[in-house]
Amino acid sequence: MSAWIDLPAPSIDDILELASAAFAALPPAIRVAAGEVTFHIDDFASDDMLSELGVEDPFELSGLYEGVNRLDRSVLDPTPAVSRVFLFRRPILDEWSERGDLSLGELVSHVLIHEIGHHMGFSDADIEALEGAET
């Protein structure tokens, strides 16, 4: 019998656990440079988020960075709010089922690294290099 027969779909807590493990696997210098970042897992982006980004299909958004990236901050700025990385469970699960070439942990790591890269002000090439540098 299939190992999946009695298993529920991965939960919000499961995705948070995978995201935490992915963050912990980043090189120490990247974790320190990222500073204070909190992770939020929801089934989908809020209607306000989708509207603000001009995204019509909630399945098209698997992650979002919210905050001022570290390269655009200044010591003269007021203390910024904590940066947040949102991961959206249902779009991630949908992409995971469609792709078939990554484990769920690998996909969560990919989305998280992409969003952390935005936080750090990295280019897409920098983000790809960061994905290859996981410990």
- pLDDT for res 135: 47
Identify the residue whose tokens are 């989305």.
Answer: 111
26 domain-assigned: yes
Among candidate residues 75, 71, 87, the one with its CA nearest the CA of residue 119: 71
User: What would the pLDDT profile of 96-105 be if each residue is shown by its tens digit?
Assistant: 999 989 999 9
**CATH number for the domain including 19?**
3.30.2010.20
- Judge whether 34 and 120 are in contact, CB under 8 Å: yes
Q: What is the pLDDT of residues 52-76, one digit of tens each?
A: 999 999 999 999 988 765 555 555 6
Is 50 within a domain? yes
Residue 5 is assigned to a structural domain of this protein: no
Alpha-carbon dihedral angle through residues 32, 33, 37, 40, given to the nearest 10 degrees: -90
Residue 35: domain span: 12-70+80-132
109 found inside a domain:
yes
Name the domain count of the chain.
1
* Claim: this prediction has a pTM higher than 0.75: yes
In a domain, 62, yes or no: yes
